[in-house]
Structures are given as C-alpha cells and as structure tokens.
A and B are shown apart, each in its own frame.
Chain A
Amino acid sequence: MSFKKVLAFGLAAVMTFSMATCAFADGEVKNANEDPANTQVTDETIVIGLSSEPSALWAIGSGKVENELVIVQNALQDTLVKVDRNTGELLPNLATEWEWVDDTHCKFTLRDDVTMSDGTPLVADDVVYTVNAALEYSPNNDSGAYFTEAVADDEHTVTIGFTTAAPDLLKMLSWGNFGIVSEDEVTAAGGVEAAIKNPVMGSGKYRFKEWNSGQSIVLERNDNYWNPDYKGYFKEIKFIFTNDAAARAMAVLSGDSQVAYDMPISMASTYKGNDQVNLIAHTFGQNTRLYYNQGENAGATKDIKVRQAIDKALDFNAIAGVGTAGMGTEVHSYFPNESPYYHDMFTAEERAQDIEGAKALLAEAGYDDSNPLELTIIGMQDQNDVFTVMQANLAQAGIKLNINIVDTPAFVEGVAFKNASYDLVHVGDLVDARYPAMMVFFKQGNIDTFCIGGPKFTTPELEASIQEFISEPDEEKAKEEALAIEQTFKDGCWYSNTYAEMHAALTAKDIKGYTTIERGFLDCTNFYK
C-alpha cells in the first residue's frame, strides 16, 4: 500500500469519527408524561435497554422491590388504583371506587369486566390473596409492611386494613409492586418460587413471554386487555440489559433498541439536540439535600452557627446547575416544586452565596479549621462534580471538606453508617406523597437501629408533627402542618436543600409516549409511533 493510500485511509477514518461526533448538535429536551396515551396497535416489537437485569419479576412473591422488577411487573399486572403523574390525583384502575371505612380500613369496589391471564374474571378473593401474599413474603418492605389484612365483602368488594392512618397509602397502592394476581395463576405458574421467574399472571396490558437469563425479557401484548381503548401499541416489548450508559445510548443511535432507560443526567447534554433521538429529562420524585450531623457523636456541625455558615457558603445555583446538567433548578423546600406541600421557604437573598457572612458565623462559633469536615456521598457517585463545587465553596469560607464516596452495597447494608462518623451527608429522599415511610431520617427508631444518613438527631415534638402530617385526613390542614415542619427545619438549619434529582432517557426519534410511574420509573406500556 502506498503512503497516499494509507493517508487516504486515515482521513476516511477521521471523517467517520467526525460524522459520529457531528450528530450532537442543539435541540429539544422532552419531559416525561408529555405525550397522550395512544389507542392504536402494531405488530412491531420495541426494544428497551435497561441498565441491569432484575433478579425476579414478581415483587411481592420475591420480597424484592428492584427498579427493573417494578418496570416489568407494571406491564404485567394492573393495580387497584393509579396516580395521574401530572396532577398527583388518585384515579380508578381495577377498583372503580373506594371509601375509607375508618382511619385504617378502606373498602374498594372492583371492576366486573377484568379478565386475568388464565381467562378467569377478577374477583375480591384475588385482592385478598395478593395482600396475604404480601404479608407472608414481603413483610419487611413497602409491599407488605403497611397491610394488616384484606377481607372479601362480596365478589367485587374488598376491604383492606392498614397498619397506620395515612390517606396517601392509597397512592402507594398504585405502585407497580402492588399488582393484583390470583392464587390460581400462581399455582398454575408452579407456585410462588416458580411464579417469581415465570409470572404468567395478572391483568396488565402485556403478558410474560420469555426470559433468556442475562440477555433479554420478552413480553407480549394482552389482546384481551380489559380496557380495549388502551391496549399496548407494540405487539412485543423486549428488554435488554446493558450496564454501560454510553453503550445503551449507542444502541438507540444504531437502531438496535428504541429506548435507553436510566441515563445519568450528566450525560444528557451530550445528546441534547441530537436529531436521531429524543432526549427525555425528568425529575425522580425526590429532592437531594445536604444533612448536617447533629447526633451524639457529631463534631462541628452540632453547632447551629457552623451549619448556617456552611449553608451561606454554598452556591446553590451552581450546585443545582451541575447536579442537573443545567436542566433543573435549585429547590427551596423539603418537598419538590410540583408537590401540593411545597412552600418557597427561602428568598433569593437568603439563598445567595455569602462567604463573608459564613466567615463571620464561623468566627462566632470558634470554628477550628484544622480539622476537615467529612462529607459522605450515598448513591450519587455519578455526580462527583456537585461535591467538587461544594468543596470549592466551603474552601472560600475557610472550611476544608473531605469527600467520602461510599458504594451502594455498603449504603444498603448500613452498618458502616451506624459506626462511621460523618459531618455531612448528601442523599435524596422520596417525597412525592405522604407515605408512612417519609422523613425516615427524623424518626428516633430509625436513628437508633438502621440509620443510613440524615441528621442522626430528632426531637419528640418533630416526630409527633411528622406523624400528624402523614395521618391528617384534611388536605388543607396537612399543608399547614407541612409548613410548620419546614419552619422547624429552617430555624434549626437541619439540612440544606440542593436540587430535585433528575434522570434522563433516550428514545428513537419516531418513538413517542415516554411516561413514568412512581418514583420516575419507566412505564413501558405507553410507547407508540
């Protein structure tokens, strides 16, 4: 080969790289839940790239609530109620109506035209079986922890008992892990153990077809779906598993898949404006915040002046910009901006960075700058730049900050956190409704036994206020109680709000209907062309 030919080959290669790079230009970003549901059908298959493979496909039977499990199960099994993701309103689904019998018992009336996967009609005993299965196989997680019983009043009426008074427990029943199945279906699948891997059960838009371990899970459209106007558009949904986010994205760009789910928001700007894909950026139902340790073994952050100094030194606008790749904004409340309990707790002036004010507070507190503060990061390892900004902000005020990134298994296990000493910890809390599990970091029981973050401190008054807020049946009163709790947080500088956590996804340009269910999980049943 002559030198000229080699040169030509080299230039061709460079051009190929350039073409690939040029695909990324400016353009639109969509939010989840923007597109209306489709009513058409096709014989095509949609391929969805997930970041990991679920270990089971039935949450209640397996005792697990993995993200990918919920995404798949949501397509297979319908729930009693659902929630409008745009308004937060509770909507009928398998149940047409419901009524609280007392603080902890709710009576549901079921549809009479729903057919389960085995062709039998949905009856109240199916709900009773599902609740009992949750109590037996998932007593320690959200799937079973809040039930006491379920009683069939007649063929289409069932009363469910809850452990505590909390009106928003009904919203929890819309979660994918609360899909209703019948005992006969589970038996036909081979029993609970087998049904976890072979979930041919439920009354959802799709039916389980096959699971090639390590490779794919395939669902097929339920042509007997009880709501013919909202059948799945695609004949089959095929989930594939690619851990690497860049590879998931390239699979969409190449046409091998049509959806790349769970992309880090930090990668979103790379695909912003790419004319081959739609970029979807959406909030994840939780705000992130920086908690200050005020527990028994806390160091400098036990002093409110030090906490306030840190709060003043931080540039929240910059932190939110980095944490959301410029697609979100800082938050001024414990609750997300779209929550009915949201209050704008801070003025722009209060949120502005004030280094001199921070230095003055530190001087008043007699802060010893020879000992660096320790910041622990849980489950947000892909947002290192956020913590670098925090480190730089605090350095301006004379605070040295060490960043400790803890891996997720250690986070889940939690022992490390019970024993470890941190001054600050950055985590996100689920706050999209008044669930009994909300504000977990402020409950003494959790602090004593299994505390994986938070201020490691609470007061009996605060705990009582939180309980009242969660159980308040009057929505307007609940809003007032939320405001009072937030004022307590603000007065004591318990934490600093940072930003609403965001996630991203890519879809092929001709794919519409990216919608989400609880916690921002993908609803794989609404896609259409």
Chain B
Amino acid sequence: MVKYIIKRLLLLIPIILGVSAIIFTLKTLTPGDPARQILGNDATEEQIQAKRDELGLNDPAIVQYFRYIGGIVHGDFGKSYRTGEPVISEILPRLGTSAIITLGAVAIGAFVGVLLGILSALKKYTWVDSLVLVISMFFQSVPEFVVALVLIMIFAVNLHVLPATGIDSIKGYILPMATIGLASVANYTRITRSSMLEVLSEDYIRTARAKGQTEGNITFHHALRNAMIPVAQSIGTNIGNSIGGGMVIETVFGIPGVGKYIVDSITQRNYPSVLGGALIIAIVLTVINLIVDVSFVMIDPRLKTTIISGSSKKAPKKAAA
C-alpha cells in the first residue's frame, strides 16, 4: 500500500509537467505581450523591453518554462501580472471556499442521485422510472449557468429565501452547491439504479425475502450497502467534474474561489495566475483521487486487487449461477 501511495504521488511529476507544458505552450502561441499588459498602452518601447528583460520574456520559451518549473519546486508559482502579489498567496485563501462548494455539491449530487436511483430501481420500467430518468438527464443536459440563473430566479428573486450572489452568510453556499450538485445527479442515479438492480437480483436478497425480511430492510440494509460501492467509487471522478463546474458557477454567483480566480485571470490574460491555478487544481485532483482510492481499499479490501494492481484479472470470479 505504501509503495502504491508513493507511486501515485510520483505520478504528480508528469501531471504537473504535462499541465504546465500545455498551458505554457498556449501562452507562447497566444498573441499578447504581458509586459505591455503590465505597463499599459502608453509605455514606451524601451520600458516594454526593460520589463520583458525583468520578467525573462526575452529568453527562449523552453528556458522560461524550466525556470518556472524550478520555481514551483520551491513553492514559487510566480507573481500575478495584475496585482503583483505571489500567485500562491492569492490562490490559497480561495482554495478553502472552492473546497467547501465542491464537497457540498458532491454531497447534494450524491444524496439526490442515490435517492432517485433507488426509487428508479424499485419502480423499474414504470412511469416513475421514466420520470426519474427525465429529471436527472435534464439537469445533466442543461448548462450549469442556466440552472444557476433559474435557481437564482426562483429562490432569490421570487421567494427571497437565498441570496443571489456572494457568500456573506452560510446561505450563500446553498445555490452554488445545488447548481453543481444537480449536474451530477444523473450520473449517481444511473450508477445507483444499475447497481441496485444487480444487487436486488442476487441470491442473498432472495434468501432474505424467503426469511421474511421486510422490503424496507432488504432495500436499505442488505441491498443498498452493497450497491453503494460503485457509487462511492464514482465520487472521486465527480469531485473533478464539480471543480470544473465550479469555474463557471463561482463566476455567476460572484464567489471568491479558485474557479472564479482562474476565469478572471484568463480574461485578463494573467498567465502566471492561470498557470498557478490550473497546476494547483491538477495537484488537488490527483491527491483527492489518491485519497478516495486508498480509503476504498481500506473500506473494502476486495478492491485492493483492482485499484492497486490496476487490473481486474486477479479479482475473484463470481460463482456461476
């Protein structure tokens, strides 16, 4: 297990190199001179050149890239072109806000999705099953910013129960979390439904019924617990999706998170901030996925084979029916 964790942590190196190389290449190919951006329209050519020298922008791109990577190793993600502050000091305070929203969104998505999945499985092939499918697919299909605006319209503008913008109070977190969470409902619903249907057809469920267990007990005590394993495994993936969704939603709700920071930085062509934000998100995602994988192995040792070896060949075969 320790070897596996070290191996996964070492994977961060190619991930950081990959992400940074892609963004650095985009930065190099995109028109726009950061020196002029910092100094403004009226700066003289001499001042622009001096600033380019100061920032090292006159060096070959490959030299700039490895200088940047060297800085990251020492925790230096560069300085924001816009404010002149270290990027890391601007991102870290925002990381907590984004984390709260992401985790809340995952919780809402999983809770609603699992409930709908159970309902769908229990009422399979009925109109309830179809309705659940339509509702969950609706939230997956409609762009998140549209859902955000509709939720603002209902809960802030018409009902006045939640704020339309900002996170001055804890209420401010609800709509952003719900918006991002609802987008993942379909995923959880689908996984829960198929997993529940599979488990409900298992022999031990039939045995439980034969022993006179109530349907509620069978559903929630015997079936659900086993059906939850694939659902729980998908949480890691959904955290990644939710962070992606947060980039747009934080902007709509005016929330000072990493997502809004990156979006603002993109529109301002503030490369160090974009690069720093993207790298930190990549690192966070990798670590979260590692934590999720490791915790599932601890919860269900059977998963050790599939997760740690990366293969399902050694997984115990199910007994033939």
Are A56 and B83 interface neighbours, CB within 8 A? yes
A250 in the interface, Cβ–Cβ < 8 Å? yes
Compute how far the CA of A23 lies from the CA of B154 in the bound complex, rounded to whole angstroms.
Answer: 13
Compute how far the CA of A119 lies from the CA of B254 in the bound complex, rounded to whole angstroms.
Answer: 36
A459 in the interface, Cβ–Cβ < 8 Å? no
Task: Known A256-B164, A414-B41, A449-B45; judge A55-B82 contact (CB<8 A).
Answer: yes
| Residue numbers in A under 8 Å from B251 (CB-CB) | 243-244
Are B31 and A140 interface neighbours, CB within 8 A? no
Question: Which A residues from 220 to 264 make CB contacts under 8 A with B?
Answer: 240-244, 246-248, 250-251, 253-257
Question: Which B residues from 288 to 306 make CB contacts under 8 A with A?
Answer: none
B9 in the interface, Cβ–Cβ < 8 Å? no
Where chain B touches its partner, the secondary structure class is helix
Are B36 and A414 interface neighbours, CB within 8 A? yes
Compute how far the CA of A288 lies from the CA of B264 in the bound complex, rounded to whole angstroms.
Answer: 27
Are B158 and A16 interface neighbours, CB within 8 A? yes
Are B264 and A63 interface neighbours, CB within 8 A? no
Contact pattern, B 144-161, Cβ under 8 Å of A = 1, otherwise 0: 010011101110111010
Are A213 and B90 interface neighbours, CB within 8 A? yes
A52 in the interface, Cβ–Cβ < 8 Å? yes
Are B145 and A244 interface neighbours, CB within 8 A? yes
Task: Known A140-B40, A214-B261, A242-B165; judge A413-B31 contact (CB<8 A).
Answer: yes
By beta carbon, the residue of chain B nearest A408 is B267
| Residue numbers in A under 8 Å from B93 (CB-CB) | 213-214
A363 in the interface, Cβ–Cβ < 8 Å? no
| Residue numbers in A under 8 Å from B166 (CB-CB) | 215-216, 240, 256
Are A243 and B264 interface neighbours, CB within 8 A? yes
B86 in the interface, Cβ–Cβ < 8 Å? no
Which among B32, B83, B145 is the interface contact of A410 at CB below 8 angstroms?
B32
| Residue numbers in B under 8 Å from A20 (CB-CB) | 153-154, 157-158
Are B160 and A215 interface neighbours, CB within 8 A? no
Are B47 and A140 interface neighbours, CB within 8 A? yes
Compute how far the CA of A434 lies from the CA of B62 in the bound complex, rounded to whole angstroms.
Answer: 48
Closest chain A CB from B164 CB (angstroms): 4
Are A215 and B256 interface neighbours, CB within 8 A? yes
Which among B158, B160, B261, B263 is the interface contact of A19 at CB below 8 angstroms?
B158
Task: Known A6-B131, A20-B153; judge A254-B253 contact (CB<8 A).
Answer: no
Question: Which B residues from 262 to 309 make CB contacts under 8 A with A?
Answer: 263-264, 267-269
B127 in the interface, Cβ–Cβ < 8 Å? yes
Task: Known A251-B164, A410-B31; judge A246-B45 contact (CB<8 A).
Answer: no
Compute how far the CA of A97 lies from the CA of B257 in the bound complex, rounded to whole angstroms.
Answer: 49
B26 in the interface, Cβ–Cβ < 8 Å? no
Are A244 and B252 interface neighbours, CB within 8 A? yes
Are A241 and B42 interface neighbours, CB within 8 A? no
Closest chain A CB from B163 CB (angstroms): 5
Question: Which B residues from 152 to 211 make CB contacts under 8 A with A?
Answer: 152-154, 156-158, 160, 163-167
Compute how far the CA of A256 lies from the CA of B164 in the bound complex, rounded to whole angstroms.
Answer: 7
| Residue numbers in A under 8 Å from B127 (CB-CB) | 3
Task: Known A243-B263, A244-B251, A257-B165; judge A413-B156 contact (CB<8 A).
Answer: no
Are B157 and A250 interface neighbours, CB within 8 A? yes
B222 in the interface, Cβ–Cβ < 8 Å? no
Contact pattern, B 12-52, Cβ under 8 Å of A = 1, otherwise 0: 00000000000000000001110011011111110100000
B94 in the interface, Cβ–Cβ < 8 Å? yes
Are A413 and B32 interface neighbours, CB within 8 A? yes
Q: How many residues of A contact B (CB 8 A)?
A: 49
Closest chain A CB from B183 CB (angstroms): 17
Closest chain A CB from B172 CB (angstroms): 9
Are A412 and B41 interface neighbours, CB within 8 A? yes
By beta carbon, the residue of chain A nearest B83 is A55
Are A250 and B43 interface neighbours, CB within 8 A? no
Are B264 and A52 interface neighbours, CB within 8 A? yes
Compute how far the CA of A495 lies from the CA of B252 in the bound complex, rounded to whole angstroms.
Answer: 38
| Residue numbers in A under 8 Å from B131 (CB-CB) | 6
| Residue numbers in A under 8 Å from B165 (CB-CB) | 49, 240, 242, 247-248, 250-251, 256-257
A141 in the interface, Cβ–Cβ < 8 Å? yes
Closest chain B CB from A215 CB (angstroms): 5
Closest chain B CB from A248 CB (angstroms): 8
| Residue numbers in A under 8 Å from B253 (CB-CB) | 242, 247
Are A409 and B268 interface neighbours, CB within 8 A? yes
| Residue numbers in B under 8 Å from A413 (CB-CB) | 31-33, 36-37, 269
Closest chain B CB from A321 CB (angstroms): 27
Closest chain B CB from A297 CB (angstroms): 18
Contact pattern, A 426-459, Cβ under 8 Å of B = 1, otherwise 0: 0000000000000000000000011010000000
Question: Which A residues from 395 to 428 make CB contacts under 8 A with B?
Answer: 408-410, 412-416
By beta carbon, the residue of chain A nearest B42 is A140
Compute how far the CA of A216 lies from the CA of B164 in the bound complex, rounded to whole angstroms.
Answer: 15
Are B254 and A243 interface neighbours, CB within 8 A? yes
Show the binding face of A for B, using Cβ within 8 Å.
3, 6, 16-17, 19-20, 23, 49, 52-53, 55-56, 63-65, 140-141, 145, 212-216, 240-244, 246-248, 250-251, 253-257, 408-410, 412-416, 449-450, 452
The 6 A-B residue pairs with the shortest CB-CB distance, nearest first, are A214-B256, A242-B254, A254-B156, A409-B269, A140-B42, A254-B164
- 8 residue pairs bridging A and B, Cβ less than 8 Å apart: A17-B154, A140-B40, A214-B94, A254-B164, A256-B165, A409-B267, A409-B268, A449-B45
Show the binding face of B for A, using Cβ within 8 Å.
31-33, 36-37, 39-45, 47, 82-83, 90, 93-94, 127, 131, 145, 148-150, 152-154, 156-158, 160, 163-167, 251-254, 256-257, 260-261, 263-264, 267-269
Given A20-B154, A214-B256, A244-B251, output 20 extra A-B contacts at Cβ < 8 Å.
A55-B83, A140-B42, A141-B41, A213-B256, A214-B257, A216-B166, A242-B165, A242-B252, A254-B152, A254-B157, A256-B164, A257-B164, A409-B268, A412-B37, A412-B41, A413-B269, A414-B36, A414-B41, A415-B33, A449-B45
